[in-house]
Amino acid sequence: MPKIAFVGAGSIVFARNLMGDVLSYPELQGSTITLMDIDEERLDRVATAGREMVEHNDVDATIETTTDRREALDGADYVLNMIHVGGREPFENEIRISQEYGVNQAVGDTLGPGGVFRFLRTAPVMLDLARDMEELCPDALLLNYTNPMAMLCWAVDEATDIDVVGLCHSVQHTAEAVSDYADVPREELDYWVAGINHMAWFLEVEHDGESIYPGLYEAAEDPETYKRDNVRFDILRHFGAFVTESSNHMSEYVPYFRTEEATIEEYTVDEEFEDYFVDWMPTGHYFEHWCEYQQEAREMTADDIDPEIERSEEYGSRIIHSMETGERRRMNINVRNDAGAIANLGNDTCVEVPCLVDGQGVHPCSVGELPAQLVALNRTNTSVQRLAVKAALDHDQDALRRAVKLDPLTAAACTLDEIDDMVDDLLAANADYLPDELVEAPRTVSSPT
């Protein structure tokens, strides 16, 4: 039976859900699940919840704990990464300092100054994890849940020999949303989705062989429905496809919705709909909601966790089950584009495409070329990602500055010199969480006189 290592397992809700996912398959119920986190108190709570689940459901799984990452990785067959590096302070800096320069991010975990700096403080830990895997479990698959998804997977692919895939639930949640908007049963929906993480496109979406896009355009004309998902409906109307990330997230990946306070308020999804996708998804002020959620999670105990085994919509356990049993599944997974799954995006990019998973692993499907307007929007994001990865791997401060200057939202809000000043402030505020080689790196991009 496989050994499955959970790295960064201190989140009691998420780790419990992933354990339940694994144990929901009879073929995986004898697995060894090794929970690793640097916070021993949180780790013990998660382990208690896991062991109660095992006992309550009378399964044979073994739940182990360790604060030593190398011990967790030794001999692992699968490694699920869910770390958060740095905690509250750098996250707040990335939001507040950017805000002072007029860059109003909704979330700041994927692109923009927040996404780039989150990547820069997370990448060294991810790369150390992957290098430990090269030594201790070189054939294991790394399943990454940590954002910024594309940049982290890209860096691991670029710098190590570890097989890594990125997992997100935005496709599943969007399928639920479009089925509701078009008034068709979710389980009867057929779809073909491709792009990049948090900006993938429902290229085809059908019910009983008929496209539901006419129903989506009709839904966009209804004021009550429109205000539930206004950014995505506007992207649909102007660019011709429904995108996979929620309106609040999507608003910060493009330059159209977050440059003036009135526009931000207009496009912030009403609070009454914030439970539609995720039960704690914010309505434009993510940091405060994140802090509240973290406090609630810290106060939870194993007694607050339902011991019944239920399977969530997450892909991780499905990938493991398919690779262990040979059962074939198709899922949207983040992978390197080196086989040209999307023909008109660079082979070095991390793309989110349909993949077939079986006993031999993860096999990206060929999508061909994305429509010109959709791939153009993707490229505005992948250009930032490419330079950010260069900044992280080469400790190249010029690449960092250029990455932020190419960010669509930042470019809409700031001059080039203002962006340099903002990067200076972010580097100074977050120096304790960033590699010294990057913070101290010389810059050749001219500074204002």
Q: pLDDT value at position 289?
A: 64
Dig out the tokens for 348 from the structure: 């070095």
Per-residue pLDDT of the chain (449 residues; tens, 9 = 90+): 999 999 999 887 889 899 999 999 999 999 999 999 999 998 999 999 999 999 999 999 999 999 999 999 999 999 999 999 998 899 899 999 999 999 999 889 999 999 999 999 999 999 999 999 999 999 999 999 999 999 999 999 999 999 999 999 999 999 999 999 999 999 999 999 999 999 999 999 999 999 999 999 999 999 999 999 999 999 999 999 999 998 988 999 999 999 888 888 888 775 444 443 333 333 345 666 666 656 666 666 666 677 888 898 899 999 999 999 999 999 999 999 999 999 999 999 999 999 999 999 999 999 999 999 999 999 999 999 999 999 999 999 999 999 999 999 999 999 999 999 999 999 999 999 999 999 998 887 666 55
Neighbours of 12 (CB within 10 A): 23
Backbone CA torsion sign across 160, 329, 368, 179: negative
How many Å apart are CA 417 and CA 67, to the nearest integer? 44
Q: pLDDT value at position 288?
A: 63
- Contact in structure between 72 and 81 (CB atoms under 8 Å): no
Dig out the tokens for 59 from the structure: 């399964």
Q: pLDDT value at position 383?
A: 98
Catalytic option among 169, 285, 289, 363: 169
Q: Are strands 350-358 and 361-364 parallel, antiparallel or unpaired?
A: antiparallel
- Contact in structure between 69 and 10 (CB atoms under 8 Å): no
How many Å apart are CA 268 and CA 248, to the nearest integer? 6
How many Å apart are CA 169 and CA 103, to the nearest integer? 27
**Quick one: three-class SS letters along the chain?**
CCEEEEECCCCHHHHHHHHHHHHCCHHHCCCEEEEECCCHHHHHHHHHHHHHHHHHHCCCCEEEEECCHHHHHCCCCEEEECCCCCCHHHHHHHHHHHHHCCCCCCCCCCCHHHHHHHHHHHHHHHHHHHHHHHHHCCCCEEEECCCCHHHHHHHHHHHCCCEEEECCCHHHHHHHHHHHHCCCCHHHEEEEEEEECCEEEEEEEEECCEECHHHHHHHHCCHHHHCCCHHHHHHHHHHCCCECCCHHHHCCCCCCCCCCHHHHHHHCCCHHHCCCCCCCCCCCCHHHHHHHHHHHHHHCCHHHCCCCCCCCCCCHHHHHHHHHHCCCEEEEEEEECCCCCECCCCCCCEEEEEEEEECCEEEECCCECCCHHHHHHHHHHHHHHHHHHHHHHHCCHHHHHHHHHHCHHHHHHCCHHHHHHHHHHHHHHCHHHCCHHHHCCCCCCCCCC
Q: pLDDT value at position 282?
A: 35
Q: At what angle do helices 230-239 and 213-220 cross, to 10 degrees?
A: 120
Q: pLDDT value at position 440?
A: 93
Backbone angles phi, psi at 202, to 5 degrees: -75, 90
Neighbours of 202 (CB within 10 A): 23
Q: pLDDT value at position 306?
A: 76
Q: Are strands 163-166 and 141-144 parallel, antiparallel or unpaired?
A: parallel
How many Å apart are CA 279 and CA 133, to the nearest integer? 34
Question: Would you call 321 a catalytic residue per the annotation?
Answer: no
- Contact in structure between 348 and 158 (CB atoms under 8 Å): yes
The whole model's pTM is what? Answer: 0.92
Q: Catalogue all structural domains in the chain, each as residue range(s) with its CATH number.
A: 3-166 (3.40.50.720), 167-303+311-436 (3.90.110.10)
- Contact in structure between 423 and 400 (CB atoms under 8 Å): yes
Q: pLDDT value at position 98?
A: 95
